[in-house]
Structure 1
Amino acid sequence: MSDSATNTLVLLSGWGCDARIWCPLAPFWPSELEVETPDWPGYADRSPLAYPASLEALADAMAEDLPGDAVWVGWSLGGLLAGALLDYLPAPRALVLLGMGARFPHPEGVSPTALTRFRQAFRRDPVATHAHFMHWQLGGEPSPRAAHRRLRTLLGDEINADAATLTAGLTHLAEIDNTRRLATPPCPVHRLAGEDDPLLAPAVRERADYRLPGAGHCPPISQPMRLTRALAAIAVAPARSLAETSLETMP
């Protein structure tokens, strides 16, 4: 990363999606921001960890990608992992949780039972289950079919991740609970959610600092301009609440 960058965002993708998920945001970033999109170990061309479920090993692998002078933006599982890594790495300027609460399973969202069934299905048939998830997470977008076409154009149809890494990611979704970490965080924490995110419980969406209109769980696909404006506002003033910022007047 460039030492001259004054405002740096590190964007972290979610389960089953590599860093190409962030490509739709590229045309909208202000020129003064530096944006990094590292892949997690085991995704794209990055080697998987020997023990993919180890958060300590994940922190060691991601240390250079997650500097303390940047704003970390974690989408979905990426947000859950970024929150957990606060115990292992120097705190960032701010942490943004996009489409994720302190933990993933919720009785009014994706229940523990539903997640267990999904994990079982993935063990039986990873390819079909991954394809099902790609459709499922887009259910709250204004046009799910169009969103799925855009997602396929970005990521293709093949799973671009190591099977053991994906299995470990499902374990993290089931087991990581960041409630304690986020109760007394070492940095400002911003929560963003799509207004119609089908993977989040209504109460979790309502607690978000900013709810993206016209978006479900995948605002990088459905609302890239609105999402870019919100993230740019945080990068410029990470300690300021988004409620204090007029996102519609940003360039």
Structure 2
Amino acid sequence: MNSDKPVLVLLHGWGVNQGVWRTIVAGLPDTIKILTPDLPGFGNATAFPSPYSLDAVLDFMAQDFPDNSYVAGWSLGGLLAIALAAKYPRKVKRLALIAASPCFLAQQDWPGMSAAVMQQFALSLKNNLPQTIDRFLAIQAMGSTSARNDTKQLKQAILAYPAPQAEAVEAALQLLSQCDLRAEFSALKQPVAGYFGRLDALVPVSVVEKLKQLQPAAQFDIAGHASHAPFISHPDSFLIWLRSWLG
């Protein structure tokens, strides 16, 4: 691939791997270079930092990140993309959040997942990792008109890659429940965009108004019939948005 091609980096979410982007990658033109790295400890990225702290994960990922990338992160990938843009600004030319938030846990005056749900996942992880991820995939599709099919597609996509490392899965859930990057998000100088599902049960669509307050110049779009994985349930609409964002 030519080095002068713009680089798009797609970051997947918790419990899954790069397989979730298969349909999207197939729908993008070859005028861009597409990277779909597995997050440390997921899929093919069997190596990961221990302890699995936010800074350690960012340093680990940044090694293979080209400068001036267009970075689109889904869910946990979006949280990490915000952190990357803040810590390594030269790496991120533009940032897009896909059903992602700088703060996933609900706070006073901030919509998000309840602490009880997070704790439930943390507990069940220790007992049965595959079952917990299955449950998480089902929640991701909740509300979508094609929920059953979406869950099936997500499962098929991720099964093509190695199962995640248990320690990484558990630690990444801690990042989701503990990280609050609202200050970092507000201070970002890069252009910000976002794509959210109106029926999302994990990242409530009401968070979009809060994000606009932190980044008034940002452009956020809402998919009316989508849940937490809009690129799975509505790939055509998502591709139109993504191509537009890439310019």
Between 151-160 and 57-66, the greater mean CA deviation after superposition:
151-160
Instruction: Provide the C-alpha distance between the structure 2 equivalents of 1:26 and 1:202, rounded to a whole number of angstroms.
Output: 26
List runs of 5+ in structure 2 lacking aligned partners.
213-218
Q: Which residue of 2 aligns with 1:156?
A: 159
Q: Which residue of 1 aligns with 2:103?
A: 103
Check the 8 A contact 1:21/1:154 in 2, yes or no. Answer: yes
Q: Which residue of 1 aligns with 2:52?
A: 53
Q: Which residue of 2 aligns with 1:22?
A: 21
Check the 8 A contact 1:194/1:213 in 2, yes or no. Answer: yes
Q: How many residues align?
A: 235
TM score, norm. by length of structure 2: 0.87
Q: Which residue of 1 aligns with 2:3?
A: 3
- For residues 195-231 of structure 1, what are the alpha-carbon distances to aligned partners after superposition, in whole Å with 9 as ceiling and x for unaligned? 2111122411455710123311011211112212212
Instruction: Provide the C-alpha distance between the structure 1 equivalents of 2:12 and 2:78, rounded to a whole number of angstroms.
Output: 8
Matched, 1:113 2:112: no
List runs of 5+ in structure 1 lacking aligned partners.
237-251
Q: Which residue of 2 aligns with 1:129?
A: 132
Q: 1:52 to 1:233 in 2, by over 3 A?
A: farther
Paired amino acid for 2:229: C
Between 189-198 and 205-214, the greater mean CA deviation after superposition:
205-214
Q: 1:185 to 1:191 in 2, by over 3 A?
A: same
Instruction: Provide the C-alpha distance between the structure 2 equivalents of 1:89 and 1:185, rounded to a whole number of angstroms.
Output: 11
Check the 8 A contact 2:78/2:97 in 1, yes or no. Answer: yes
- Give 1:48 shift: 2.6
Check the 8 A contact 1:141/1:218 in 2, yes or no. Answer: no
1:59-208 equivalences under 5 Å are 59-91=58-90, 92-106=92-106, 108-156=111-159, 160-205=163-208
Instruction: Provide the C-alpha distance between the structure 2 equivalents of 1:67 and 1:199, rounded to a whole number of angstroms.
Output: 30
- Give 1:179 shift: 0.5
> Over aligned residue pairs, what C-alpha RMSD do you find?
2.1
In percent, how many aligned pairs have the same letter?
Answer: 29
- Give 1:60 shift: 2.4
Check the 8 A contact 2:197/2:205 in 1, yes or no. Answer: no
Q: Which residue of 2 aligns with 1:214?
A: 225
Between 27-36 and 190-199, the greater mean CA deviation after superposition:
27-36
- For residues 42-72 of structure 1, what are the alpha-carbon distances to aligned partners after superposition, in whole Å with 9 as ceiling and x for unaligned? 1122233241522232222212433231111
Q: 1:40 to 1:52 in 2, by over 3 A?
A: farther
Q: Which residue of 1 aligns with 2:215?
A: none
Q: 1:44 to 1:219 in 2, by over 3 A?
A: same
Check the 8 A contact 1:127/1:159 in 2, yes or no. Answer: no
